[in-house]
Structure 1
Amino acid sequence: MSALELIVLGTASAVPTRQRNHNGYFVRWGAQGYLFDPGEGTQQQMSRAGLSAHNLTQVCITHFHGDHCLGLPGVIQRIARDGVPHPVEVAYPAAGEEYFQRLRRASEFQPTDVIKARPLEGPSPAPFGDPPITALPLRHSIPVYGYRIEEPVKTHMRADALAARGVAGPSVGELKAKGTLVTSAGEVLALADYSYRERGRSFAIVMDTGVCAGAAALAKGVDMLLIEATYLSSESALAAKYRHLTARQAARIAAEAGVRKLVLTHFSERYTAQGFERFAAEAAEEFSGDIVIANDLDRIGFPAR
């Protein structure tokens, strides 16, 4: 079982099809389990994917259109029914507070106190979680937030080079903490000369939006971008009208942001089970990296370092 992977639970947009469930995306990140946009049928899709309520530590709702949230009542009730002991935080746009409260208590059940609400407000809500999650507003017909998970940059010490200078043990920690170290021989060592920095892993999800600064900022340099591609360019007028992205627009965002792996999803019901190679072909005209057309129950690995 991978320690870092995307498990796709649904890839349809407003109307599910025989092949595509409503939205739902689970990201396994070590001991953390992030569920994004649980649409209708998410409980069943989780079962098919071998996931349980106990795998969930965070739920993130991008917005309160039904295909992105109508599975939330079942997920919350399953968390209660299965006796999940740890806190499960639910992040969502504060502008949809009334919808969150309705979904949280959509029917009679024995409630649980492990559900923790995190309403998000403004253009730059405070990051939350570990690793930190950043939320930024997108451009749609109602308030929408996209999300980005990113591990902090790690500093690795070059132990062999330090040992050659007679530096070991607590002195290594001192160099890392202070940035410089004076050795017993009076030599001044700089941290940059005896270490290297490694970017943390990163993931972003961009749903239901037109082209906007928030989408570009969330996507910048991520290892994996999961992004809506509701339409092909032949339906650009519809995309503009309903503030959605075409496959070409999504790929251009990825290319300009320097994304490593692009995952396209949230396809309009107008497209049949066949023909999704058109989405890949259109995206490839803008983005030269790894392109994945998401299908329900796919398990998609992060790119190797």
Structure 2
Amino acid sequence: MSNINITFLGTASAQPSRTRNHSALALRLDGDVWLFDCGEGTQHQIQKSAVKMGRISKIFITHTHGDHIFGLLPLLASRLNGAGGVIDEALDPRASGVLDEAEPLEIYGPSGTRAYVRTGLVYTHTLLSGPYIVHELQFPNDPPNPLAPLPLHSAEIPGRDIQQIDGTWLDVYRGASFSVSAAPIMHSVPCVGYVITEAPVPGKIDPKQYVPHLKRTGTPMSAMRRLQEGESVQLSDGTVLQGPSKRPGRKITILGDTYDPSPIAELAMLTDVLIHEATNAHLPGIDPETKVGDTYDIVEQRSKSRGHSTPQMAALFARRIDARKLVLNHFSSRYAGEYDPVTQHGDQRPAAKEIMEAIRTSAQPYFDGPVICARDFMSFDVQVSHSGQERDA
């Protein structure tokens, strides 16, 4: 049974602050680490967390705005032991066979991700000692490839151009234990939301239902392993024991910036954890920066016009897809985090905790499940379902 952990490395929108870094999230799946977005300073955040740089095997970019991608090149250089200089035959990873032997670091993102990575590495003369690969999720109206005149970087392996089918990108990655699908979500630029789905897991087994039969017929107790996997076991007296049916695995939906994530709704149905932006909120009497004359409708329309959401909008989408848990993320710099990594205790502004609680409570009436406001370095495990109808994190 896989362990799934979510660790927030950055929860700010647009500008970082003392208590919030730019957007980045680490999904730890047993020994592997998958990053979702990689804003400026992400590698520093990793060094302050329990996330291991060397375990990063995949990076998923939601969109190419700077607060979600400016940390990618520095992290790539650190992860793959980058150095500056002019390549020669002795350092050429293609000539040395490194690209054929090592497992590449995989990057997924919308059109433009490959150009950003390749040009950034080429024009900073960055050499990498390991391979990387960029897979692009193509939108129907993407412009022509801007990289045609620029050859592959010395450590780059050609990636896939993944086309939409019926408006989504199904199984952009599929492994034995987890798969990733994606869909466009509405923002001011092309933006992607990702759905991570665990393969079906063994059903809950009651030993009292099976052990007496195994003992009666002298069947080795090792048969319980097969039953746990949902297989059938025939006993010496002809009795056939059937293990419990497998249950759906856990599902996590991670959205980029959006004012309307409707295109991903079908993929995200019954998600265990929904991570949804809540950049702007209307908090009169609590947030001292509330504009005179503002109403919730004005704040919502202003937020939408900039491609963003309010806590209420996030909660309504969580209810629409029957999510089990909602985590609000990507907060305006005016909303300080409750924890200050510099002083190692709560933020010095007494209102910080009150403001974040007000943001949480503004969403709660619109969603029946738990609502949490993310903060930098917040970490939690996504728990295994105990029944087909009860799943929580």
Normalised TM-score (structure 1): 0.85
Contact in 2 for aligned 1:162/1:168 (Cα 8 Å):
no
Contact in 2 for aligned 1:141/1:243 (Cα 8 Å):
yes
Q: What's the % identity of the aligned pairs? A: 28
Match of 2:265 among 198, 216, 221: 216
Q: Which position in structure 2 is the counterpart of 1:57?
A: 57
Change over 3 Å in CA distance of 1:99–1:178 after alignment to 2 = same
Give the root-mean-square deviation of aligned CA atoms. 3.2
Change over 3 Å in CA distance of 1:6–1:103 after alignment to 2 = farther
Q: Report the CA distance between 1:298 and its aligned residue.
A: 1.3
Alignment gaps of 5+ in structure 2: 84-97, 139-163, 283-295, 338-351, 386-393
Q: Which position in structure 2 is the counterpart of 1:268?
A: 332
Q: Helix, strand or coil: the match of 1:34? A: strand
Alignment gaps of 5+ in structure 1: none
Q: Which position in structure 2 is the counterpart of 1:153?
A: 200
State how far apart, in whole Å, the 2-side matches of 1:158 and 1:81 are: 50
Match of 2:116 among 64, 77, 99: 99
State how far apart, in whole Å, the 1-side matches of 2:226 and 2:51 are: 43
Match of 1:118 among 122, 135, 138: 135
The number of residue pairs the alignment matches comes to: 301
Q: Which position in structure 1 is the counterpart of 2:304?
A: 240
Q: Report the CA distance between 1:185 and its aligned residue.
A: 7.7
Contact in 1 for aligned 2:59/2:108 (Cα 8 Å):
yes
Moved more, 101-110 or 157-166: 157-166
Contact in 2 for aligned 1:37/1:62 (Cα 8 Å):
yes
Structure 2 residue identity aligned to 1:115:
Y
> Once the two structures are superposed, what CA deviation does each residue of 1:178-207 show, in whole Å capped at 9, x if it has no partner?
9999998888x796xx42322212211011
Moved more, 219-228 or 209-218: 209-218
State how far apart, in whole Å, the 2-side matches of 1:101 and 1:37 are: 17
Q: Which position in structure 2 is the counterpart of 1:29?
A: 29
Moved more, 80-89 or 223-232: 80-89
Detail structure 1 runs of 4+ shifted over 6 Å in the superposition: 157-160, 165-187
Q: Report the CA distance between 1:62 and its aligned residue.
A: 0.5
Change over 3 Å in CA distance of 1:178–1:248 after alignment to 2 = closer
Q: Which position in structure 1 is the counterpart of 2:377?
A: 297
Q: Report the CA distance between 1:155 and its aligned residue.
A: 4.5
Change over 3 Å in CA distance of 1:176–1:55 after alignment to 2 = closer
State how far apart, in whole Å, the 2-side matches of 1:14 and 1:103 are: 21
Question: Larger Rg: 1 or 2?
Answer: 2
Normalised TM-score (structure 2): 0.67
Q: Which position in structure 2 is the counterpart of 1:279?
A: 359
Moved more, 160-169 or 25-34: 160-169
